[in-house]
Structure 1
Amino acid sequence: MISTIITTNQFADRMNEGGTFMYFILIAFLLSLFFIVMAFVKRNANQVTAKKYIGLAAEASILALVLGCLASIVGIIELFDMVEAIGETRPDLFSARLKVSLLTITFGLFSFTLARLGILIYKWTLKSEIER
């Protein structure tokens, strides 16, 4: 018999479980990473443009965090709507919906933290005014 090994992508599974908001958080996260990379590329050539990119990265990271919080609240509201409609609390359904709401806030926090770490590294590598 030929046995097949099915490999699953954990990231894709979690993205699908988290719902539509996960993709918006991913877009904000990728934008923040793009802006950080562009700031590093432009930092020696044009300080004004590099500073603009860092500002955009900061805004995109905050957007990812806020989207995660919003999606989490929406998920919890949907959870309580489901409990209200059923009339009783089934632990399996309750925990499944709670997990979905926690996935979005976790991904939003993860995106925010990594982007802020990139911004911190960028600012740390800048030469001070005295050294110039």
Structure 2
Amino acid sequence: MRFLFFGQFSDRMREGGADFMYPILLMLLICIGLSIYAFLKIEKVKKLKEIISHVSLFALVYGFLGMMIGLIGAFDAISVANDFSSSVLAAGLKIGLLSPTFGMFTFLIARVGIIALTIKAKNENA
């Protein structure tokens, strides 16, 4: 079961386009790593929260950029083709939505880390 999840994850990463999905994955790992590091370092929490915020917002926007570029390419291909099926359009839309979905996931995970750091800082100051 566990291997099935990783297989599906790697398939989705390839389907979403390596130019957008793998940089967003790197940004997710950076946000998680910085969140963990911020929990261990007390004196740099404010600066680290700002960096996490910027990286997560960049991941979100980068995912939507991937979607726009993918949709432009798909609509170019549709405009050239004389005949196309709705299944081809649906598959193209699914692939186009993978990078912004992963960008939103990265953004949400980073925001959860920022909220946790804020709660931790308030508890330490109280």
The equivalent of 2:64 in structure 1 is 69
Give the 3 Å change call, closer, same or farther, for CA 11–129 of structure 1 in structure 2: closer
The equivalent of 1:36 in structure 2 is 35
The Cα of 1:22 is off from its aligned counterpart by 0.4
Superposition TM-score, scaled by structure 2 size: 0.88
Alpha-carbon RMSD across the aligned residues, in angstroms, is: 1.9
Structure 1, unaligned runs of 5 or more: 1-5
Give the 3 Å change call, closer, same or farther, for CA 130–91 of structure 1 in structure 2: closer
Q: Which has the higher helix share?
A: 2
Give percent identity, aligned residues only.
37
Structure 2, unaligned runs of 5 or more: none
> What SS does the aligned partner of 2:102 have?
helix
The equivalent of 1:83 in structure 2 is 78
Distance in 2 separating the partners of 1:35 and 1:104: 22
Compare CA radii of gyration and give the structure with the larger one: 1
Superposition TM-score, scaled by structure 1 size: 0.84
Match of 1:94 among 53, 76, 89: 89
Query: 1:58 and 2:53 equivalent?
Result: yes
- Larger relative contact order (Cα-Cα within 8 Å, sequence gap ≥ 6): 2
Distance in 2 separating the partners of 1:84 and 1:67: 26
Distance in 1 separating the partners of 2:73 and 2:125: 55
